[in-house]
Amino acid sequence: MNAFWIILTGCLVSISCGLLGCYLVLRKMAMVGDAISHAVLPGIVFALLLTGVRDSFTMLIGAGIIGVFTTFLIEFFHRKGNLQTDASIGVTFTWLFALGVILISLFAGQIDLDQECVLYGEIAYVPIDLWILDSGEVMGPRAVYISGIVLIIVVTFIIIGYKELLATTFDPDYAVCIGISTALWHYLLMGAVSLTTVASFESVGAILVVALLIAPPATAYLLTENFKFMLLITTVLGIITSISGYYLAVWLDGSIAGAMSTIAGLLFALAFLFSPKEGILTKSWRNKEQNGTLSKSF
Amino acid sequence: MENLLEFFSFADPNIRYVTLGSVLLCSSAAIVGCFIFLKKKALVGDAVAHSVLPGVCLAFIIAENKNPVLLVAGAFLTGWISLVAIDYITAKSKIKEDTAIGLILSVFFGIGILMLTWIQGSGIAAQSGLDHFLFGKAASLIGQDLIVFGTVSIILLAVVFLLFKELTLISFDGAFAQSIGFPVRGLELILTTLTVLAVVTGIQAIGVVLMAAILVTPAAAAKFWTDKLKVMIILAACFGAVSGVTGAYISYIAPSMPTGPWIVMIISIIALVSFFFAPKKGIVNRLIEKRRIQNQITEENILKLLFNIGEADEDYFKARTIKDIIQRRPFHVSVLKSGLSRLKNQGFLEKENGYWKFTEAGKTKGQRMVKLHRLWELYLTEYLKIAPDHVHEDAETIEHIITPELEKRLEEKLQYPKLDPHKSEIPYNN
């Protein structure tokens, strides 16, 4: 049963991450996703200090705000300070992450959060942290509900804003022409990314969220040219990653989140080599074949 | 205060190691970071930093102890592979660079975490302390580490010193370097190697997660103070050294505080202060400067307008209301009012119960603006053959920045013309 809860949480988290990651990858904002995942740390610490409970609604909101604030800061230094984007991202997130780690050490006695958890989460403890009703009824692990709710939010967001997100991602000029605010959707998307990062934080850790945000969408990107298929393939990849990641971790007796990112990387490597259209090996075979038929026809 | 004296007397060899180590690491990373910053590869540094983790673990699994030379070699290997992988993925597929960086960074880090937790579960006794690579622990630096890191720092400095011209060239203009026959690929390889070396030495103190800050933040901060590369490198190295010492000091007075994040915090504060308050390039100064120029343009436009109205009425010193002015040109009322009162303070205008009129100085200045405007319109039609109905907009912008020298040359070139393309008289001041 424990394995089931862990894998279920992993699936929920990786699907939410993957769906949003598709937009990040296509908008060339993968590293902004990375920055947000680091920068929400102080938000999480503050929320923990204020409420004292993990998984609280306050925590999601607080970190969501910090995430959007991070994107704003990156833009601000870039636009107003003439700082190049890569440096702007690098400076902003390392600063906020350092702040988060310092806060953790400062309030070590008051909050239940350690540095390892920040890095690779504690998905193995998901089944222990149960949601128990006042009547004493056990409802199952709390993390499952949290990541489930976030997945519902993410899917609703994508369904409602599908047209707007698509337009602002592929053709921002056209989007502006038909009256869609690119800035609004940009910040809404960033808000959604922050929310997902925070919700996934406890299970996979602040940094490995990035693997789930980027690797499955990048893999799907190599496998299809249809955006809807890309979302679908990402979802499937997320599920495969969670299941096989869990068993790899059990086999090696190591971190589940680490194993999940290893699998995600492996899947990408496979697609990179063997994708029917884009794989470098398939491409070179195709070339050889074509050269063969060409020389035969002469 | 006692702590401060005790710390800076460096009597305790431990303090000496830690401080010296932090300073060496931070400043040599900052120097290499300048070139990475200029090549716009800040996030690549981040990727290398995360990617050394599996190498460190691999070296440990092979050696079963924390031999610093082996760990550095292992870190070097995977750090290097990560850079090659990013380049390869970007070149050979439709994946963009940012995605490739994020992918390699997180996957390598994930593999590293998996190996690290595997080592921790395997029960090899010497593994304790290996997780210092995650957040760094400058406070645990010992003499042996210092020798390794000192050597690496000297190599870094020597290479940067010897290849300064070449590295500068490829950082600013790789295509040009290639065209004049520099071995650009080889030099980039050297820069890559330097990056990996800097990262590998730094992670012991800072940890893989925050290493990127030590590379790039000092360079970003220094960039706001100067335009000269040499000055920028020296400044960045100083910023790095200051944060290294401060970080070491903070973890000395408060041992529960992590050194790495504090070093990053200090260097980030230096950077934030630079971003906002650096003279010339700082955000605050740029805002002030922008405001000053906006004000100057408004003032000059008001004077010009008053002169135009006066020209039409043939009475330059008649008092005008705000309404009169707005009728001729749609200023924002608040902008106009503040502009008028500034002009009064500067002595160009006088105000009498709600009416505004020129002083002698005001008329002269308004006249000059009108003259510049018309001279430029004439210049555009005469020399650039632009149709007279297309020249107004351009003159409207340039009139504010024409210097007296340029004014003189325009007059000479156009031979002191009497009329502009719209047949308005060009007003001379005599």
Residue B383's Cβ-side half-sphere holds a number of Cα atoms within 13 Å equal to: 10
Question: What is the C-alpha separation between A106 and B265, in angstroms, rounded?
Answer: 14
Q: Is residue B421 part of a domain?
A: yes
Interchain CB contact of B272 with A (< 8 Å): yes
Q: Where are the alpha helices (DSSP H) in B314-332?
A: 322-328
**Cβ neighbours, 10 Å, residue B305:** 21
Q: Do B216 and A91 touch (CB under 8 A)?
A: yes
SS3 state at B314: coil
When divided into structural domains, chain B yields a total of 2
Place of tokens 């930093």: B49
Place of tokens 């990475």: B36
Shortest Cα distance, chain A CAs vs residue B102, angstroms: 6
Q: Is residue B30 part of a domain?
A: yes
Q: Do A258 and B112 touch (CB under 8 A)?
A: yes
CATH code, B331: 1.10.10.10
Q: Which of B71, B64, B55, B66 is nearest to B109 (CA)?
A: B55
Q: Which of B196, B88, B211 is nearest to A272 (CA)?
A: B88
Same domain, B74 and B199: yes
Instruction: Point out the domain boundary residue: B215, B245, B268.
Output: B215
Q: Do A261 and B110 touch (CB under 8 A)?
A: yes
Mean pLDDT value across residues B19-23: 85
Inform me whether the pLDDT recorded for A150 exceeds 80: yes
Chain B residues 276-335 with a CB less than 8 Å from chain A? 281-283, 286-287
Task: Give the confidence band of A132 by pLDDT, cuts at 50, 70, 90.
Answer: confident
Q: Residues B266, B242: contact at Cβ < 8 Å?
A: yes
Name residues whose C-beta falls within 8 Å of residue B130's C-beta, 6 or more positions apart in sequence: B56, B57, B60, B66, B116, B119, B120
Give the one of B95, B258, B268 whose C-beta lies nearest to A101's C-beta: B258
Same domain, B206 and B299: no
Dihedral-angle region of residue B319 (phi above 0 means left; psi in -120 to 50 means alpha; beta otherwise): beta
Kindly list the distances between the CA atom of residue A228 and the CA atoms of A159, A232, B111, in Å, as whole numbers in the listed order.
11, 6, 30
Report the range of poorest mean pLDDT among A218-227, B126-135, B160-169, B317-326: B126-135
Mean pLDDT value across residues B304-333: 87
Q: Do A97 and B219 touch (CB under 8 A)?
A: no
Residues in chain B within 8 Å Cβ distance of A34: 46, 102, 105-106
Pairing of strands A138-141, A130-132: antiparallel
Q: Is residue B183 part of a domain?
A: yes
C-alpha dihedral sign at B215, B220, B221, B225: positive
Question: What is the C-alpha separation between B253 and B259, in angstroms, rounded?
Answer: 11
Q: Where are the alpha helices (DSSP H) in B93-131?
A: 97-122
Q: Which residue of A has its CA nearest to B50?
A: A207
Give the one of B42, B114, B210 whose C-beta lies nearest to A97's C-beta: B210
Q: Do B95 and A252 touch (CB under 8 A)?
A: no
**Domain ranges for chain A:** 2-297
Q: Is residue B263 part of a domain?
A: no
Residues in chain A within 8 Å Cβ distance of B223: 83
Instruction: Point out the domain boundary residue: B215, B231, B263.
Output: B215
Q: Residues B221, B267: contact at Cβ < 8 Å?
A: yes
Q: Do A255 and B114 touch (CB under 8 A)?
A: yes
User: How much is the pLDDT for B188?
Assistant: 87
B245-282 pLDDT, tens digit per residue, is: 898 888 888 877 888 889 999 999 999 999 999 988 89
H/E stretch holding A138: strand A138-141
Q: Do B106 and A252 touch (CB under 8 A)?
A: no
Instruction: Tell me how many residue pairs between chain A and chain B have CB atoms under 8 A apart.
Output: 209
Q: Is residue B236 part of a domain?
A: no
CATH code, B127: 1.10.3470.10
Q: Do B109 and A261 touch (CB under 8 A)?
A: yes
SS (H, E, C) B122-185: HCCHHHCCCCHHHHCCHHHCCHHHHHHHHHHHHHHHHHHHHCHHHHHHHHHCHHHHHHCCCCHH
Give the one of B114, B212, B281 whose C-beta lies nearest to A262's C-beta: B114
Task: Give the confidence band of A233 by pLDDT, cuts at 50, 70, 90.
Answer: very high
Instruction: Point out the domain boundary residue: B215, B242, B261.
Output: B215
Q: Which residue of B has its CA nearest to A80?
A: B283
Inform me whether the pLDDT recorded for A127 exceeds 90: no
CATH top-level class of A2-297: mainly alpha
**Owning domain of residue B352:** 282-430
Q: Which residue of A has its CA nearest to B255?
A: A105
B405-415 pLDDT, tens digit per residue, is: 999 999 898 88
